Structure 1
Amino acid sequence: MNPVKQTSHLIQNMGWRGFIFRATYEFRRKSGLLKSGYPTKVKVEKFTDLAGWKRTGGKFFFPSKEDIKKFDVLTDEARIQLKKEFTDIEQGKIRFFNGLVMDLGRDYDWLTNPETGYKYDINKHWTKIKDFDPASGDIKYVWEKSRFSYLYTIIRYDFHYGIDQSAFVLNEITSWIDKNPLNFGPNYMSSQEIALRLLNWTFALYYYKNSPQLTEETFQKIIHSLYWQAKHIEKNIDFSRIAVRNNHAISECAAIYLIGWLYPFFPESTQWQENGKEWLEEEGLYQVYTDGSFLQFSMNYHRIVVQLFTWIFYLGKKNGDIFSIELNKRLKTSVEFLYQHQDVSTGHMPNYGANDGSLFFPLNSCEYRDFRPQLNAFYNYFYQKTLYGAGIWNEDLMWYGYVPTYTNHVQAEQKSKAYKVGGFFVLRDAQKFAFIRCGSHKDRPSQADNLHVDIWLNGKNIIRDAGTYKYNASPEDTKFFMGTASHNTIQLNDYDQMLKGGRFIWYHWSQALDVDIFEQADANTFQGKAQVYGHVHPEIIHFRKVKQYKNEIKWKIEDIIQFPAEAKLPQFTKKQIWNISPDFFDLGFTITTRDQFGKEVEPIIQDAFYSTTYGVKEPSKQIIFESSSDFLQTVIEQKATATAEQKGMVAAAAAG
């Protein structure tokens, strides 16, 4: 791609302001000008003493450990699992990205990538460290423990088992401070990681406020580090607010706002409260669309925003501050949006969109894919009642200081809905639902997946999104997971729907042109079209109709690929892709496809991958129908059992 076109596409991804800011920022970083704004040697100031903080600090979810009313929502299984996870952490085994457990040892240096063994140079200023370097590996593996989300498991163990862990927790924090001098090394590179670290340290400080282990010396060490890390966020926040504008910006603004309230003795605290609130209003209304969908087109990143604003709204209100009616309305709609896409029996959402395994404040025993704890806590803020009734998902709410009531609980209705602003569509009945993505992009898409379809039945995701895997993966893995091949849509030859640029950039964004859902006597139906493969030709259109039958476990999908009549294009093979669950055939599902002449297309079952959380991929299967036809009609339905022929196809594919 020539430089002029490349620049034009980069501007589309970032906007003029973001493009200019980022170019200037990179020049300042490479030239050393940026380094001067982030000192490594600072005067040690005493902002207050421990007694002063206890007396004048802002209001948290709870004043201290001793003030939390005892509650027990854990099942026997959850108690056993909590103890096991705590024992793992005690031995230096940390769960990474809410998936794989990695053994870091008891004396981890906070600098070594456990995946590659590469140790970052702690004598390098953070502006001189590369965040993407094949030699060092994925830097997220170094950042993960330094985020300190694992502290919640230790604190929950302390609370539920009644065994004090203050020495362990405070030692983890001071160990990090000792081994990460200010603005040196990889753990100062991401302001979002700093923001999360400070919020998680704050939770621990309030919980252990009255512990004898929290000495004056320890308090001063933590507060000094916390202050200068907050200064780092403030200094660098325009990078997220102008050049990035996604959940990073909300995380950093949340930290500035909440630190301003909870540590009122810092010189900038009042200004941080004011600036943080102004920025959060701006980012919330910009990033959460009017229909409740989120500009990153990701279910998990959307949950991140819910978690952050749950803290912001609850703690803001406790400290006498509330946000605008418009932002409240927008975020209430946001909770409703996620709930309508949820399988309530499991709490799962479609495995859709970029997913880095983040769950900032894990205050419950539910699995990572279960969204109920976070949606329930925020729902309670708006409605003063639980969303799901009794269950272990209420633990978050209890940590936030609320006793849930279940009297006369009625489950909120889920129904077919069209979210046209974000491009999300749900067809629902009591047993099943189909999720369809068909979006017009005014903000940067993360995956080439327009007109993707998910199908769910009785809590099982039978036709599914393959997930994300890793951002810093091999070219082959990146192409599969970020590209069209891992999604349930139509692929032309081996092209992606959009042209891949560097890192998270796509060129020639796909765009929805006309889309809606409607109800018929026998079915709920989605119908839409999207402009796709713009780098092949700007007038290629994909029409898709998804019909979900009401009284049958059956879906009919019709696809038409329309090419411009006068364009001299090669003959394309259309590949209709279906990523299936492992038990697709065992559950008795069949799938058949016919072309425009009514001829049945032979299915191809091939090996693929599935990733439920970051850094983890497992073998999976795809059913692909290849045809030269511009029209394909597919029927997916459940019959009693899989046929011998289908089982034979799966066995042959596995053997091959």
Structure 2
Amino acid sequence: MSKVLYYFITFLSLRKKSLFLYIIFKAKLKTGFIRKYVYNQEYGNELYKFSVGSYKHDTNFKSHTLNAEILNSANEIACGVIRLFKSNQSIKILASTDWFAFPEHSVIKPWYELSVNDVLGHDIKLTWEPSRFNWIYDLGLAYKVSGDVQYITAASHLFKSWLDYNPYNNSINWVCAQECSIRALNILLFLDQIDAKINGDMYDFFKMTVDRVALTLDYSIAQDNNHSITESAAIFILSTFLINCTHARKDDKLKYQLLANKGKKTLVNSVNDLTLDDGGFAMYSANYQRVVLTVLTLVEYYRRTHSLPDFSEQYLDNCKALVLSLRDIVDLTSGHSINLGANDGTILFFNRLGSYLDYRPAIQTASYFFIGKLIYNSESANAGLYSLGIDTKDVEYYFDSLSVSESKNYRSWGLTKYQLSIEDCFLFIKYPSYFFRPSQCDLFHMDIWIRGINYLLDLGSYSYNDSGFISSDLSSINSHNTVCVDDIEPMPRLGRFLLGCWPKTNQLDISHSFWSGEYKSIFGYVHSRNISIDGACIYITDTLHHVKNKASLNFNLPSSNWSLYENIISNDDVSIEVEKTSTMDINLISGFESKFYNQVSRIAQFKVVDYPNNETVIIKTKITIKEAK
């Protein structure tokens, strides 16, 4: 089957409005229309200088644990060390060129003439991450906690260093409007934290940022992802700031009032458009949903602190739905989420305290603003609210969880959750139900959590541009807890961010103890998966039709003290038994997962390969969860 046909089939599934906006943008870029509105402007000499009044200590910042984390992070940054993706990866800024991960990223020319990710392995995100200015927010928070001006001095020094090699509209860091948006929002939050007086050069910088972001907003809308939400939020917040700033001129007020209105309208439309009927987000990704929630929380925080009009009821209902659906895929004890969908390592603004893997601060902060209640009763979960100086002692708690053995199905998200009869044990089943572009080939993937530990793993996505095959391998069907037929990817990759020929789930049957679904691949084979739950046991029957050579069943397992005996693998918490046939090979091998962007770690993989004598293969598996010792 030709790739042209794959594109045609996929084209029919893509949203026509999005395709239209994308084509129009590319035409504007090709004909030079966009270039007419791209202007050059020097940064002002006072831009990186921050003027603050006398320090006033906020009595809400009284947690020794969180304060220590805030100051430790800021002390690193003050020494020029910037951590990437909230992980143990870091860079050290000793010179202005250190802002660029690779030499070609430092080229100075108009942003529309620059290409990203053209060199294999030279991931643009390694340059964009420090240029998001998450570090400036961290420095502002350290000043707010301590009153130590060294953190303001460090922010000024690093900002000047960045400005020297990133001229406006002529740098790789002005290519992506979302990156520009995040950078400016971090700076605005920093200025708020240190209670700085806004100088004219900073006012101009925010104007320049809004002009750049607004120029390509239609392109971001066409992506059907987080970009339109982040960018419209930035246009709304920054434009509102500009029209209320003492430096605002009459013509500026008119221009940026119109842009503020446009930003708000686009934000509302994007949220209402991209929130799935059952509360999931259009990207089918846990981390991207956290990113979106964080941006929406920032918008609501800004709206309240500046006494702006309320958003629409539908918008607020969707924000609440995003909170609750994300909560449902996060482990209550650890705060870790199932590693669902693409993961670009983003964690923003006030939710950067604590571990990157802990989703509770983002959910807790969003719950406070959109539900008016808290979900988690822990200091670490309150870290985001703590960063904003919000006292939570009188806030009520929101309780709404699954009963024992109850199921919850998110049909438009393509996800079913079961709470098993054993305490603190959950089963998740992912199935194809795509209205927007999927990023992972996770058809009938299963996740199992046992007492806070993820025992059947989704492996993440690693990088958007790696020099090998790690990223493509991790997103493939062979890297999920499902069956691969004849080494075929049922959704062929047509581009870095586009999988083709999306299948649909047929004969979906869900009850409190039974799940069944079937899909047919464009390549002709059919996969039916039946799952029965009986107490501590999960029974899986995979039936595959039109198999030519082999069917491969995979289970991704955490590195642990696993024991493999013939057809059974087990440890202290769980055992997996496959009903063996004479045509099967069963092995325990080593594999990789990616929890942090641009990093991998070792896992175990239980592989069952059946080389059948006919075109129909049936593989039966029993998973037994053991009682806690």
Report SS of the residue matched to 1:511: coil
- What is the letter of the counterpart of residue 66 of structure 1? K
What do residues 168-192 of structure 1 show as CA deviations (whole Å, max 9, x unaligned)? 2233233323331110010011000
Report SS of the residue matched to 2:179: helix
Structure 1 residue 64: deviation in Å?
10
* Aligned counterparts of 1:44 and 1:174: Cα–Cα separation in 2: 11
Q: How does 1:83-122 map to 2 (within 5 A)?
A: 83-109=71-97, 111-113=99-101, 117-122=102-107
TM-score by length of 1: 0.85
What runs of 5+ residues in structure 1 fail to find an aligned partner?
55-62, 564-569, 643-656
Report SS of the residue matched to 1:398: helix
* Aligned counterparts of 1:247 and 1:477: Cα–Cα separation in 2: 24
What percentage of aligned pairs have identical amino acids? 23
Tell me what 1:236 maps to.
216
- Match among 408, 419, 426 for residue 428 of structure 1: 419
* Aligned counterparts of 2:514 and 2:593: Cα–Cα separation in 1: 28
Q: Are 2:136 and 2:155, in contact at CA under 8 Å, matched by a contact in 1?
A: yes
Structure 2 vs 1, CA of residues 182 and 14 (structure 1 numbering), >3 Å: closer, same or farther?
farther
Tell me what 2:63 maps to.
73
- Match among 239, 244, 260 for residue 260 of structure 1: 239
Structure 2 vs 1, CA of residues 315 and 85 (structure 1 numbering), >3 Å: closer, same or farther?
closer
1:247 pairs with 2:226:
yes
- What is the letter of the counterpart of residue 247 of structure 1? N
Tell me what 1:192 maps to.
178
Structure 1 residue 476: deviation in Å?
2.0
* Aligned counterparts of 1:572 and 1:110: Cα–Cα separation in 2: 51
Structure 1 residue 135: deviation in Å?
6.0
* Aligned counterparts of 2:375 and 2:473: Cα–Cα separation in 1: 37
* Aligned counterparts of 2:238 and 2:345: Cα–Cα separation in 1: 25
Structure 1 residue 515: deviation in Å?
2.4
What do residues 193-226 of structure 1 show as CA deviations (whole Å, max 9, x unaligned)? 000001000001112234xxx6x7xx33322222
Structure 2 vs 1, CA of residues 364 and 478 (structure 1 numbering), >3 Å: closer, same or farther?
closer
- Match among 465, 476, 481 for residue 483 of structure 1: 476
1:149 pairs with 2:134:
yes
Q: Are 2:353 and 2:384, in contact at CA under 8 Å, matched by a contact in 1?
A: no
* Aligned counterparts of 1:636 and 1:602: Cα–Cα separation in 2: 19
Structure 1 residue 111: deviation in Å?
4.6
Deviates more, 1:622-631 or 1:359-368: 359-368
Q: How does 1:376-525 map to 2 (within 5 A)?
A: 376-405=364-393, 409=397, 411-415=399-403, 416-429=407-420, 430-519=423-512, 524-525=513-514
What do residues 111-156 of structure 1 show as CA deviations (whole Å, max 9, x unaligned)? 521xxx4243443111111112126711111111110112233233
Structure 2 vs 1, CA of residues 26 and 45 (structure 1 numbering), >3 Å: closer, same or farther?
farther
- Match among 339, 363, 375 for residue 375 of structure 1: 363
- What is the letter of the counterpart of residue 161 of structure 2? S
Report SS of the residue matched to 2:595: strand
* Aligned counterparts of 1:21 and 1:547: Cα–Cα separation in 2: 45
- What is the letter of the counterpart of residue 635 of structure 1? K
Deviates more, 1:138-147 or 1:600-609: 600-609
Tell me what 1:555 maps to.
538
- What is the letter of the counterpart of residue 245 of structure 1? D
What do residues 241-260 of structure 1 show as CA deviations (whole Å, max 9, x unaligned)? 12x12101100000011112
Structure 2 vs 1, CA of residues 43 and 101 (structure 1 numbering), >3 Å: closer, same or farther?
closer
What do residues 516-562 of structure 1 show as CA deviations (whole Å, max 9, x unaligned)? 4312xxxx33222223x31x22xx33222223333x2x322221123
Report SS of the residue matched to 2:269: helix
- What is the letter of the counterpart of residue 37 of structure 2? G
Tell me what 1:312 maps to.
299
Structure 1 residue 605: deviation in Å?
1.4
Structure 2 vs 1, CA of residues 347 and 457 (structure 1 numbering), >3 Å: closer, same or farther?
same
Tell me what 2:167 maps to.
181
Structure 1 residue 334: deviation in Å?
1.6
- What is the letter of the counterpart of residue 157 of structure 2? N
* Aligned counterparts of 1:136 and 1:118: Cα–Cα separation in 2: 13
Structure 1 residue 286: deviation in Å?
0.8
Q: Are 1:288 and 1:294, in contact at CA under 8 Å, matched by a contact in 2?
A: yes
Structure 1 residue 106: deviation in Å?
3.0
1:614 pairs with 2:597:
yes
Deviates more, 1:492-501 or 1:444-453: 492-501
Tell me what 2:518 maps to.
529
- What is the letter of the counterpart of residue 438 of structure 1? Y
* Aligned counterparts of 1:43 and 1:342: Cα–Cα separation in 2: 44
Q: Are 1:98 and 1:359, in contact at CA under 8 Å, matched by a contact in 2?
A: yes
Report SS of the residue matched to 1:289: coil
Tell me what 1:581 maps to.
558
Deviates more, 1:384-393 or 1:178-187: 384-393
Q: Are 1:365 and 1:393, in contact at CA under 8 Å, matched by a contact in 2?
A: no
- What is the letter of the counterpart of residue 366 of structure 1? G
- What is the letter of the counterpart of residue 613 of structure 1? F
Report SS of the residue matched to 2:86: coil
Structure 2 vs 1, CA of residues 513 and 41 (structure 1 numbering), >3 Å: closer, same or farther?
same
Q: Are 1:547 and 1:555, in contact at CA under 8 Å, matched by a contact in 2?
A: yes
* Aligned counterparts of 1:507 and 1:453: Cα–Cα separation in 2: 22
1:159 pairs with 2:159:
no
* Aligned counterparts of 1:625 and 1:366: Cα–Cα separation in 2: 38
Structure 1 residue 410: deviation in Å?
6.9
- What is the letter of the counterpart of residue 485 of structure 2? L
Tell me what 1:645 maps to.
none
* Aligned counterparts of 1:408 and 1:500: Cα–Cα separation in 2: 47
- What is the letter of the counterpart of residue 411 of structure 2? K
Structure 1 residue 625: deviation in Å?
0.9
Structure 1 residue 395: deviation in Å?
2.7
Structure 2 vs 1, CA of residues 368 and 136 (structure 1 numbering), >3 Å: closer, same or farther?
closer
What do residues 435-482 of structure 1 show as CA deviations (whole Å, max 9, x unaligned)? 111132121111111111000000000110111101112352233112
Q: How does 1:213-224 map to 2 (within 5 A)?
A: 219-224=199-204
1:361 pairs with 2:349:
yes
What runs of 5+ residues in structure 2 fail to find an aligned partner?
563-570
What do residues 71-100 of structure 1 show as CA deviations (whole Å, max 9, x unaligned)? 22343xx55544443332222222111223
- What is the letter of the counterpart of residue 409 of structure 2? A
* Aligned counterparts of 2:550 and 2:54: Cα–Cα separation in 1: 64
Q: Are 1:427 and 1:548, in contact at CA under 8 Å, matched by a contact in 2?
A: no
- What is the letter of the counterpart of residue 515 of structure 1? L
1:604 pairs with 2:604:
no
Q: Are 2:42 and 2:167, in contact at CA under 8 Å, matched by a contact in 1?
A: no
Tell me what 1:651 maps to.
none
- What is the letter of the counterpart of residue 549 of structure 1? D
Q: Aligned-pair RMSD on alpha carbons?
A: 3.0
Tell me what 2:272 maps to.
285
* Aligned counterparts of 1:89 and 1:224: Cα–Cα separation in 2: 26
Structure 2 vs 1, CA of residues 146 and 547 (structure 1 numbering), >3 Å: closer, same or farther?
same
Tell me what 1:646 maps to.
none
- What is the letter of the counterpart of residue 105 of structure 1? I
Tell me what 2:568 maps to.
none
* Aligned counterparts of 1:181 and 1:280: Cα–Cα separation in 2: 28
* Aligned counterparts of 2:214 and 2:12: Cα–Cα separation in 1: 27
TM-score by length of 2: 0.88
* Aligned counterparts of 1:96 and 1:166: Cα–Cα separation in 2: 21
What do residues 565-600 of structure 1 show as CA deviations (whole Å, max 9, x unaligned)? xxxxx62311111000112634343211126x7x79
Q: Are 1:64 and 1:208, in contact at CA under 8 Å, matched by a contact in 2?
A: no
* Aligned counterparts of 1:484 and 1:636: Cα–Cα separation in 2: 21
* Aligned counterparts of 1:110 and 1:194: Cα–Cα separation in 2: 19
Q: How does 1:317-356 map to 2 (within 5 A)?
A: 317-318=304-305, 319-356=307-344
* Aligned counterparts of 1:136 and 1:466: Cα–Cα separation in 2: 20
Q: Are 1:121 and 1:185, in contact at CA under 8 Å, matched by a contact in 2?
A: yes
Structure 2 vs 1, CA of residues 605 and 417 (structure 1 numbering), >3 Å: closer, same or farther?
same
Structure 1 residue 621: deviation in Å?
1.8
Q: Are 1:390 and 1:406, in contact at CA under 8 Å, matched by a contact in 2?
A: no
